Amino acid sequence: MIADRIRGVVPHSLKVLLARALSGQNSDRFVRFVFGNAIPHYGCRISTQGADTGVPTRLLLRLYERAELAMIHRHLRPDLDAIELGGSLGVGTCQIAKRLSHRRVICVEASPSLIPALHDNLGRNGITNVTVLAKAIDYSGAPTVRFASVGAPE
C-alpha cells in the first residue's frame, strides 16, 4: 500500500512536524474521506468515531500511542496472558490481542464512554480473545489493589 511505503521512508521527526501542522479538523476530515472511519494501523483497522481531534491523523502517521506500541512489539511475550490497564479506543489492545492470539487478554477501561469504541475496534478486527472490564483501579490506600465498578456493564 502506498501509505505504508510513505510511512516507512519518512523520518520520525518529519512525521511529528507534519502531525503537529496537520492534526486538526481539516486533516482529520481528509483522512476520514480517504479511509472512512476505519484507519489502517499496524495491520488493524481502527475506528475513530468519537475520538479527539487529531487522532485519525496521528493514527495514520503511526504517532498515536507510539511508545506503548513499541513496548508491545518489543517486549510482550507471546506465551503469557496479559492485563492491559486503560484500553481507550483499543489501538494497543488490538496489537496485544493479535500478538497473544492464543492467550487471554483482559482489558480494564475506566471510562464508560470509551467501552463501545473499544468493543467496536475489537470486533472490526475479528479479535475474540479479549475480555473488557469496565472498572477503575481503587486507590483507597489498602495494601492490595482492587478494581472498582465505574457504572458501565462488563
Whole-number pLDDT of residue 103? 96
81 and 138 in a single domain? The answer is yes
- Other CB atoms within 10 A of residue 136 CB: 17
Domain membership of residue 143 (yes or no) is: yes
- State which of 16, 35, 64 marks the end of a domain: 64
Whole-number pLDDT of residue 17? 73
Query: How many alpha carbons fall within 13 Å on the CB side of residue 148?
Result: 9
Whole-number pLDDT of residue 152? 47
Domain membership of residue 92 (yes or no) is: yes
**CA-to-CA distance for 16 and 142, rounded, in angstroms?**
42
**CA-to-CA distance for 27 and 141, rounded, in angstroms?**
44
Alpha-carbon dihedral angle through residues 57, 62, 66, 69, given to the nearest 10 degrees: 130
Q: 135 lies in which domain range? A: 74-154
- Other CB atoms within 10 A of residue 12 CB: 11
Number of domains in the chain: 2
Which residues are within 8 A (CB) of 88 and not within 5 positions of it... i.e. 6 or more apart? Answer: 65, 109, 111, 114, 118
Q: What is the pLDDT of residues 60-83, one digit of tens each?
A: 988 889 899 999 999 999 999 999
Q: Find the length of the chain.
A: 154
**CA-to-CA distance for 88 and 51, rounded, in angstroms?**
10
150 and 115 in a single domain? The answer is yes
58 and 109 in a single domain? The answer is no
Which residue positions in the chain have pLDDT lower than 50? 152, 154
92 and 40 in a single domain? The answer is no
58 and 103 in a single domain? The answer is no
Whole-number pLDDT of residue 94? 96
Q: Are 49 and 116 in contact (CB under 8 A)?
A: no
Whole-number pLDDT of residue 78? 92
Q: What is the DSSP string of 53-100?
A: TTHHHHHHTT-TTHHHHHHHHHH--TTS-EEEE--TTSHHHHHHHHHT
Domain membership of residue 69 (yes or no) is: no
What's 149's domain CATH number?
Answer: 3.40.50.150
2 and 57 in a single domain? The answer is yes
